[in-house]
Structure formats: C-alpha cells, structure tokens
A and B are shown apart, each in its own frame.
Chain A
Amino acid sequence: MTSPQIPIHKHTLKNGLRVVIAPDSAAPVVTVGVYYKIGFRLEPQGRSGFAHLFEHMMFQGSENAPKMQHIKLINSSGGVLNGSTMYDVTNYYEAVPSNALERVLWLEADRMRALRVDEENLINQRDVVKEEVRVNVLNQPYGGFPWLDMPPVAFRNWANAHNFYGDFADLDAASLADVQKFFHTYYVPNNAVLLLLGDLNPQEGMALAEKYFGTINPGAAPAFADPTEPPQSEERQGYVQEKFGTLPAMAIGYVLPPRRTAEWHSMVLLDQALHGGRAGRVYRELVLEKQIAVEADGGIDDVFGYNGPAQTTTRILHKPEYSAEQTLAAFDAVIREVQEKGISQEELDHLKVKWRSDYYSTLEGGRGGYMPRYGLMHLLACFSLFDNQPELVNSILEGFLAVPGDQIQAVAQKYLRPQNRAIVFRTPVKQDAKEAA
C-alpha cells in the first residue's frame, strides 16, 4: 500500500502571506483558495454572527472591483466561487479554467488589500443573512440541530458557546465601522494563506502570487481571545423546542482530546467505530437492531478543520413511542460496551482501511460536485494556519494507522464519560403534524 503523495511548493512572502501550491494537471482547472485565520469562534463579543456576516461583505466590493464585479468576473471566466465561515477559519475559493488564474489572483488580492463597501451593502447583506438563517434554521424542521443548539449547553467560554449564526439584534447592531475594524484586524496577509491547486506551473504560480499579493501591507499580528474551557465536573443538559418536526430528538456531544495528540488519533478511530455509517455501532444498535431511532448519525464535524474545543456529536431522531430515557439508555449501552470490551483487532484493522480510503477521497474530492479539489485545499490551508506545516497532508494518515488496539478502549473510558458530555433534547411542540395543520 502506497498512499498518494501530494507535491507541495510553499513560500512565505515578505508581508507574511503564506503561499502553498499543489500542481496537478489532470484537468485544465485551477482551484484558488484564500483562508483567513478567524472564524465565528473568536468573533467579537456582542457581535454574534459577525464573522459570517463579514464573509458576505467580502463579496460586496473592493478597491478596483465594485459590488457584483467579483462574482461577475469569476462566473464569466467559466468559474464558480463561494466562501464559508467555520469555527476557526473563513475561506474564499474559486475554481476556474486554468486560463483565468491571473484574474482570480488579481481579485483575491484586491479584496485582501482594501475592502470598499458602504452602508447600503451592509443593509443588503444583513437582510440576505437573515433569510439564510430563516431558510436553514428558523423555518426548517430541526434547523440548526445540533450545531447551534449544542454549544450553549456544552460550553462555558463565550467563544465556544455563543450563537454562531448570530442573534438578529447583534446582526442589526453591526456597523460599517465594525466591518472595517474586523477587516484591518484579521484580514491581513500575515493572518492568511493562499492556496493554488491544479493546472499550473508552480514557479509561475509563485511569481504571480508575489506580483499580486506582494505589495499588500502586513498588519499587526492579531490578538486572539483564549478559547480554553474551564474544567467540567458533571454532565450538562439543555432543552430546545422543535416547532415543525414530529419526532423527538436528542444530541449527545463529548469533548475531544487536543488535536494531533496520540489520544486524538485514537479518538478519531473510536469515532469511526461509533459513527462510521451503517456499520457504526450507534446506527447499528439504535436504528437496525433495537429500532428505537429513525435517524442516528453524527461524529466529528470536519476533523482537520478546527483549532479549539470541539466535540463528537451523535444526533438521534427517535420514534415517539420510545421515551427520551429509553433512547438515551440504548445509546449509553453502546458506549458502555466499548468502554468495557474495547474493540477487536479485526474491527480496528477494518476501521483503518476505511479511514485510509476516506482520506484518499478527501484528497481527491470536490465539494457538492462543483468545486474541484476542495478537500485538499481545506487540509493544506488548515495545516498551514494551525501548524505551519501543509506537508502534514502527506503524513497525518500514519498516526491513525499506528493506533494500537488497547488505546481505543482507553480513550473510550477517559473521554466518553458523563463529566465530559452534554445532551440537548429537542422536543416537538406538536405531537402529530395532522392535528396542527
């Protein structure tokens, strides 16, 4: 077995911007990403949802590309673009035919250099974001469950516990001055990484990066709030009403070991034993065997993409004829079994094969069928910003494949404890949709 090795060219510009290039000419397409090391976790207090609102503002105009030009220039080059706000990073990315590389770099550099937006843009995008929250959360059955419901229950530090999509009052309070301040604090070249993947010559790519980004002034290194959580001494529980859905639901989250430690590697494989699809123990027991749940899934969300306290979370929608207590007892039985018996060497071997296979898919795969090389871009970016080591994409797999059998049981006992978990119950207001109609 030889794992694919990604060729990586990296360089840091004088202004601190890291540039990572991974050439691959299989298709005449380049993917360009700019990642900034700021996400919703460390957005300013009193401004919940701001990191995401700000991400929208980055499409609203820059020095030489006014509103609508950015989107127009990418689409009319034959490309697609988007951005997303995560816990600890915000990304902007484009996939274009490779003849448009220079144009994309010009655009990304222009908005890294100077954002040019006005009050009207802000009001417009505030309205758009509110509709985004409505369509994804407020007007959907189980909207935001559990990714928005869990943090305030599980965590005590505001950084980890607040509403990441934003309270509407906070969104309304956000001002143009906040936008510019956030931009000048976090959107500096020395807090970012530029990624170029696909059909390009690495030397030419590096020269173009220098040409377009090299003259952007660096800023002061941003000061980040400390996301550390105070110690937890008992299980935490919370309750949320479900306005539309008809099934009772619960989510159980356990805090993970620090990333890139031996325990973390073991925990990730344990997580696969629990949540690895239909062979995973949680789905097998709750849906297939005991038939208590209609859905039972979850796991670590974006395992390489966070840089602070995080959980593995199980999400369960169960049949109304079973109580929450019965459902939780069935889940606890799954946890207890792995704590008492661990897993067999054979199961561990199989988990490693599956994990390796899934990792290859991450390296090759796109996003939503339209964004080639998203997976590789994301890994290179996060390993650059968190570890200053994009090469980790070529070696991180080894740590997982080396996990010894007894370690799975050990981390199960140490981390899957009530004192390390939080539970959110999401309970339907209506028992049956028919009665309420």
Chain B
Amino acid sequence: MMASPAQEFPVSAPALAPERPVTWPTRQRVQLSNGLQIVLAEAHAIPKFHGELFFRAGEALVSDRSVGLAEMTAAVLRTGTANRTSRQIEEDLRRLGANLGTSAGQDTSAISFTGLSEFAEPLLGLVSELARRATFPEPEFERERRQKLEEVKLERTSPGFLAGERLRKVLFGSHPYARVSPSEEQVAAYIRGDLDQVYRKIYTPENALLVLVGDFEPQAMLAITEKTFGNWTGKKPEPKATPQLPELNGRRVYLVHNPGSVQTQLLVGCHAITRKHPDWIRLGLANSIYGGAFNSRLVMNIREAKGYTYSPRSGVNPLRQHGYFSISAAVRNDVVAASLTEIVYELDRLRSLPVPASELADAQNYLSGVFSMGLATQEGLLSQFSTVELNGLPQDYLETYRDKVRALTSADLLATARKYLDSANVQIVVVGDRAQIQEQAALFGPLELYDAHGSRLQ
C-alpha cells in the first residue's frame, strides 16, 4: 500500500453538526357520523398513497370459537364480494397499480393498500367492498382451509416459530395471547359460518380506523372517503373479559426437541408492558442498551466478541392488553450454556450497575434518531400515525417522544431494569436437538421437554 500523507485527513471522528428540527406532517383527524375514524396526512415524494383500514379487534376477541379464525377471515375476505370474483379483485388491483394485503393479529384486523394517486377513488371503492360486502365464497374458503392445513404443518419445522409459540404459551397461560397458531385439528374443523360471524362482529365502522398518507389533497381525499364509507353502518363489538396471566415465579427452561438441528434457537422472555404504559419509553431505552441495537451490549458480547451467533436481539413486544420482553439468538449447539450465561449476565449488569453517562447519551441519540427515520416514507408515516391512534397515545406523542427519551437518567434505567428485567424469573425456551443441548440447558433451571407438536416428552 502506498503511504498517504496523514495530516491531510482527520484522525478522529468529526463532531455532529447542530441538529435540524424534526417536523411531523400535520394530520387531519376526522370522525364520520357512523363512527369511522379517519387520519389523513400529505407526503408528496411520489404520485402514490398508502392506506390502512384497521379494525380494533382480532384473534383475541374470537378465540373462544377457535384459534386463527380472525386470520382465516382476513385471508378469505379478499376472495369475493357481492360485485367481484376473486380473479376480478386481483386483476382490478393490478389495473389500478395497487397492492393490497389483509391480515389479523391478536388485537387488530386490517386491510392495507397502496396505489397510484390517480386511482385513489376506485381503490378505496374496492377496499370498501372488501370491508362491507365480502361474501366468503364456499370454494374459496375450502381452498384457503386446505392451504392453511399445509401451512400449519410446515411452520412446525421452523425453529423460530416453535420457540415463539412455546414462549407465548408459557407467558400467557389461559389468556388468548398464548395461542399463536391453530393445530391441524382446529383448521380441519373450521366452517365457513365461523368467518361470517367474525366478519360481522369485527368489520364495522364504529370499530374502524382509516389512515391515509400520500400524494393527495386532503379535502379532496376526505370527500372521497365520505362518499365511499359514509353510509356504512355497524356497532363496535362488546369487549371480552380475559383471564389473568399466570404468575411466573422462578426461572424455568423449556426445551423443544427438533431432531437433526445443527443450531439452537434461544428465546428468553418475561412479562412486560403495553405501549400505553408510562414506562414504555424508559423500557425501550433499556432495551436498546441491552440488545435492541447493533451497538447494544448483547450484540457486542455474544456476536462481536465471542462469535456465538449471527443474529442476537432483544425487544419489547406490545400487545393491547399486555406486553412481553424477549431476547433471541440462534447459536452454535456447543455454546448454548455459554450464550445463556452471557444473556443472564447482561440482564444482571443492567440492574446492578448504573449505565455510564456516555453510553446513556449514545443510546438516547440512537433511539431519538431512529425514530425520525419514519418521516422519510409514506409507509413510515402511516406506521407511526397508526401506532398513536390504535394504542390511544397522546396526540403529541410523536412530537414529544424525543424530548422524553432525552430526559431519562441512569437512575431511571436502573429502576426500570430492576422492575422488569429479572434474570431469576425469565423463562427460557431452547429449540434444538436434545441430545446435543439438554444438559447445557438444564443448568439454567427446572427443564420441561416438548416435541414440535407441543406434547410433553420425558
């Protein structure tokens, strides 16, 4: 290599320039007389728009009947309306340059879409038809059901799925949040009438939120939405009482035996909080220091220093009624115990020692900077506005978030870690080949052994 004159370039990183202001676009919030809530915001980079029609209920509301029905309803929803067949729907979407997805989670069902601004009215017309006049054709239902049967068999071969399913069972017990996916028997027993019922219960204007972000003139777009959705009627569903969560005292280990695994999926978790909880931002900051960023302690430890894993991370997972914290890593079979030791160590460190001032400042910068990335795309804006509305957060949540992050102290973090992150009470799921990992896993607590179908093994 040829030498280059060292004095011609700086030898330490340039300081940050003054921050530029972060301005969230103005939102218009409107409620139609039928209860439909609408949020509109402009973003003009491309002649398109993004939209999502949310319904404030999902699997948890209808789980008494079976598991996965809200998702099945969403899947069959797009296969027929009073005016269009499945094939017409798909071809119409293409004609409008649009993408559309239907989905359901524990707490929401949604129709999301994006399309060319020039075709906003026909696209919203199609969305409205799906929300109001879906017919759930019997042959389409049967096709989806048979496809779902294959999918539920298949997902049991994925280590990530098996780990997530077991952790949710452990953390949520008899609460609907414990059930993430149906069994083959449950899918086999679905009937078309179930979907009709879910549809009538959940897909109503009083239960709905429509968020639209993109290249449009708000008054014109509002006029289209009033014309399209104004005469829709329907009440919101009665809320359902849900069971208490299990009290989890003491750390336990759950090994899901996955024969032939050449790696072990670790998933460690505990109860946490919802988005609406006053501790949300401080737990978010603790998480970003623990394992929520590339620069976090866990990643630096078990990836960059030790090379145990490619993809360690932690996160706070908010559901509407409860939340949970989780730590995941897929590690080499021979370092299962070593990895768990570090996972526990980093938890203990966070609740034993104050985070140094410089590390705190770095994490505050990270969280507040990444938060602004959502401003750059229509999709990002839609996601942020939806989060505020669906979780009933204060209307100035986006505007004040960064200040709230910056106001936190090391003492706040220590208190937060002590309150939520207790290594003596975390639940540890390991998915892998028992012959290679059982002894290592059992070092961390009483061990229960399961097969991929959830049956206890000895």
A: residues with CB less than 8 A from B are 1-2, 4, 24, 26-29, 64-65, 67-69, 71-81, 95-103, 106-107, 109, 113-114, 123-132, 134-135, 138-141, 184, 198-199, 212, 215-217, 243-247, 276-279, 284, 287-288, 291, 294, 317, 319, 350-351, 353-354, 356-358, 360-361, 363-366, 369-373, 432-434, 436-437
Contacts and interface: CB of A to CB of B under 8 A. Distances in A.
A215 B5 contact: yes
Contacts of A68: 295, 300, 304
A74 to B, nearest CB: 8
A69 B219 CA distance: 49
Interface string B410-443: 0000000000000000000000000000000000
11 contacts: A26-B376, A28-B20, A65-B13, A76-B363, A78-B369, A100-B369, A106-B13, A217-B4, A284-B87, A294-B150, A371-B373
B115 interface: yes
Contact of A28 (B115, B375, B452): B375
A99 B300 contact: no
Given A29-B376, A64-B11, A114-B1, A72 B20 contact: no
A90 to B, nearest CB: 18
Interface residues of B, number: 94
A76 B303 contact: no
Contacts of A199: 20
A106 B13 CA distance: 7
A141 B159 CA distance: 9
A288 B86 contact: yes
B373 A128 contact: no
Interface of B: 1-2, 4-5, 8-22, 43-48, 86-87, 90-91, 93-99, 114-116, 118, 143, 146-147, 150-151, 153-154, 156-159, 257, 259-263, 293-295, 300, 303-311, 330-332, 361-363, 365-370, 372-373, 375-380, 383, 451-453
A95 B373 contact: yes
Contacts, number: 267
Nearest to A183: B1
B295 to A, nearest CB: 4
A101 B17 CA distance: 8
Given A71-B295, A100-B16, A215 B8 contact: yes
B331 to A, nearest CB: 7
Contact of B307 (A27, A124, A247, A370): A124
Contacts of A139: 159, 261-263, 330
- Report, nearest first, the 3 A-B pairs whose CB atoms are least far apart: A78-B369, A357-B97, A127-B307
B373 A29 contact: yes
A138 B262 contact: yes
B254 to A, nearest CB: 16
B2 to A, nearest CB: 5
Nearest to A73: B13
B381 to A, nearest CB: 9
A9 to B, nearest CB: 18
